[in-house]
């Protein structure tokens, strides 16, 4: 297993380009199931989760390939298998995004039910209830969701009990080719949902209201071939900005979308960071130490749960106390004990972390436990005195494209070592 080794303390300075967003690309790729011709995707990031979705579509019989210009082409016309097997779903929960499109296209689907994951139970009951409201018959057998709608899906009025991002996306895709009108109330307003709605519309769908909590979809007989573009990754963008901030540096992220990061930008400004916003760029600089700021995670446009861990890393070195409340996932504090191993002062009380800023962090061997927790450990390692070794970095590879290369470009002393040999060397080096 790979290890990332960081020798901290160097201010990060310079410019990096945001990659396309993983969480926008995944539903866009699933939407190809509905198209009756090839779909071309621009700005798809090269990530493990994307490869998993490509493998899943290829397993179903689709033609899937990247060309020399880094455009991804998917043609699902040759596909015939309406299935997502456990082997793929267990490595990526977002595989469940194929359920709505498969059921809409074939009238049946068999998708392995995702289990819990490191950050929470994460059921998909609202996806299933929504499909049932559209006329599907659903049962769970031997760990698989077996969905049937032999007479096709029908439009329905669906009110989500709780905001769900992939739930909104799954039902939006199913409704695109259902008979009649579907209204999704209490829908997710995330930029990734908007990207999906705009892309489906470019392929012939009739959708309005994306970006608000009511989305209206009027079913069409089919969607066609075309070209779509993945939006910039707001979480990756903010992670690089945080890398500049935590090292007292000066980082600009280009090809970014500042409008997608308003809550993050407001909170780092409160913490004392100087933020300059361009049309498609964000620059962050610090004038002196950060001050503690409270956050609580919320669906968009609130503070994103996917940035909670990275923000906490910043707050470990801020003056004063910061209260961080996680309201989306019940177990998204796996980074806390690892940050404590690096010298942070953090107390947990249920879904709240109380962070008392310390003068400095010190490098330590730590373990990545999920994607965003790993990113917070990279940030802490960049700021810490001495060497930090992060193991289980396959979590980072799920969501950050060429992370060590991009960090190196900004001046970080960071490298990746592969295999168990590194682990042994790690043991020797750490006595």
Nearest-5° Cα angle at 133, 159 to 112: 100
**CB nearer to ligand EPU: pick between 167 and 258:** 167
Minimum CB–partner distance for residue 224 and ligand EPU (Å): 25
Confirm if 373 and 338 have CB atoms less than 8 A apart: yes
Q: Does 306 bind ligand EPU (CB under 6 A)?
A: yes
How would you class 332 by CB atoms within 10 Å of its CB: exposed for 0-12, middle for 13-18, buried for 19 or more?
A: buried
Question: In whole angstroms, how close is the CB of 32 to ligand EPU at the nearest point?
Answer: 16
CB-based burial, 416-429: b 16+ in 10 Å, e otherwise: bbeeeebeeebeee
Q: Which is nearer to ligand EPU, 53 or 286 (CB)?
A: 53
Nearest Cα to 128, choosing from 79, 152, 164? Answer: 164
User: Cα dist. 294→255, 297, 326, 372 in Å?
Assistant: 29, 10, 11, 19
Q: Which of 40, 52, 95, 164 binds ligand EPU (CB under 6 A)?
A: 164
What's the rounded Cα separation, in Å, for the pair 48 and 36?
Answer: 27
Number of residues that bind ligand EPU (CB under 6 A): 24
Could you say which residues in the range 48-107 bind ligand EPU, by CB under 6 A? 94
Q: Taking the CA of residue 214 as centre, how many other CA atoms within 13 Å lie in the half-sphere pointing to its CB?
A: 4
344 binds ligand EPU (CB under 6 A): no
CA 235 to chain centre: 7
CA atoms of 147 and 332, how far apart (whole Å):
31
Q: Draw the binding track, 177-216, toward ligand EPU (x: CB under 6 A; -: no contact).
A: ---------------x------------------------
Q: Two tokens at 311? A: 């923000």
Q: Which residue, 94 or 256, has its beta carbon nearer to ligand EPU?
A: 94
Q: Is 158 in the site for ligand EPU (CB under 6 A)?
A: no
Site for ligand EPU contains 122 (CB under 6 A): yes
Question: Helix 165-176 and helix 191-202: axis angle, to 10°?
Answer: 10
| Residues taking part in catalysis | 117
Contact pattern from residue 372 through residue 411 relative to ligand EPU, giving x for each residue in contact according to CB under 6 A and a dash for the rest: x--------------------------x------------
Applying CB under 6 A, the span of 66-74, 118-126, 205-213, 358-366 interacting with ligand EPU comes to: 118-126
Taking CB under 6 A as the criterion, the residue among 126, 175, 230, 410 binding ligand EPU is 126
Task: Please state, in angstroms and rounded to a whole number, the distance separating the CA atoms of residues 309 and 374.
Answer: 9
Q: Given candidates 5, 16, 18, 23, which one binds ligand EPU under the rule CB under 6 A?
A: 23
Residue 371 as a binder of ligand EPU (CB under 6 A): the answer is yes
305, 310, 322, 374: residue in contact with ligand EPU (rule CB under 6 A): 305
Q: Rg of the Cα trace of the chain? A: 22
Residue ranges in contact with ligand EPU by CB under 6 A:
23, 26, 94, 120-127, 162, 164-167, 192, 305-306, 328-329, 371-372, 399
């Amino acid at each position: 297993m790979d290890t990332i080794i960081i020798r901290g303390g160097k201010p990060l300075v310079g410019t990096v380009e945001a990659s396309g967003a993983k969480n926008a690309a995944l539903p866009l790729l699933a939407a190809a199931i509905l198209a009756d011709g090839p779909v071309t995707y621009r700005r798809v990031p090269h990530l493990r989760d994307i490869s998993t979705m490509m493998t899943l579509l290829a397993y179903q019989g689709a033609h899937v390939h990247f060309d020399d210009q880094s455009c991804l082409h998917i043609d699902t016309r040759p596909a015939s298998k309406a299935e997502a097997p456990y082997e793929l779903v267990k490595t990526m929960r977002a595989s469940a995004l194929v359920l709505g499109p498969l059921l809409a296209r074939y009238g049946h689907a068999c998708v392995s039910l995702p289990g819990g994951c490191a950050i929470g139970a994460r059921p998909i009951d609202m996806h299933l209830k929504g499909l049932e409201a559209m006329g599907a018959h659903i049962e769970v057998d031997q760990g698989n969701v077996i969905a049937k709608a032999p007479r096709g899906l029908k439009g329905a009025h669906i009110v989500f009990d709780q905001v769900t991002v992939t739930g909104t996306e799954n039902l939006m895709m199913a409704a695109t080719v259902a008979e009649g009108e579907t209204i999704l109330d209490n829908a997710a307003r995330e930029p990734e949902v908007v990207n999906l709605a705009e892309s489906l519309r470019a392929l012939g769908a009739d959708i309005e209201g994306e970006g608000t909590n009511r989305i209206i979809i009027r079913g069409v007989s089919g969607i066609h071939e075309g070209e779509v573009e993945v939006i910039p990754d707001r979480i990756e963008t903010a992670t690089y900005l945080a890398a500049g901030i935590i090292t007292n540096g000066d980082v600009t992220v280009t090809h970014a979308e500042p409008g997608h990061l308003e809550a993050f930008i407001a909170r780092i400004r409160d913490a004392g960071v100087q933020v300059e916003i361009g049309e498609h760029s964000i620059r962050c600089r610090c004038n002196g130490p950060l001050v503690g700021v409270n956050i609580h995670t919320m669906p968009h446009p609130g503070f994103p749960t996917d940035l909670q861990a990275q923000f906490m890393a910043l707050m470990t070195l801020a003056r004063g106390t910061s209260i961080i409340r996680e309201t989306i996932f019940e177990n998204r504090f796996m980074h806390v004990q690892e940050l404590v191993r690096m010298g942070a002062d953090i107390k947990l009380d249920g879904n709240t972390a109380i962070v008392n800023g310390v003068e400095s962090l010190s490098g330590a061997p730590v373990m990545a436990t999920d994607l965003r927790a790993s990113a917070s450990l990279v940030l802490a390692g960049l700021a810490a005195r001495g060497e930090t070794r992060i193991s289980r970095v396959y979590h980072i590879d799920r969501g950050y494209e060429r992370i060590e290369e991009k960090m190196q470009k900004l001046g970080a002393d960071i490298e990746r070592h592969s295999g168990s040999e590194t682990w042994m060397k790690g043991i020797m080096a750490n006595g």
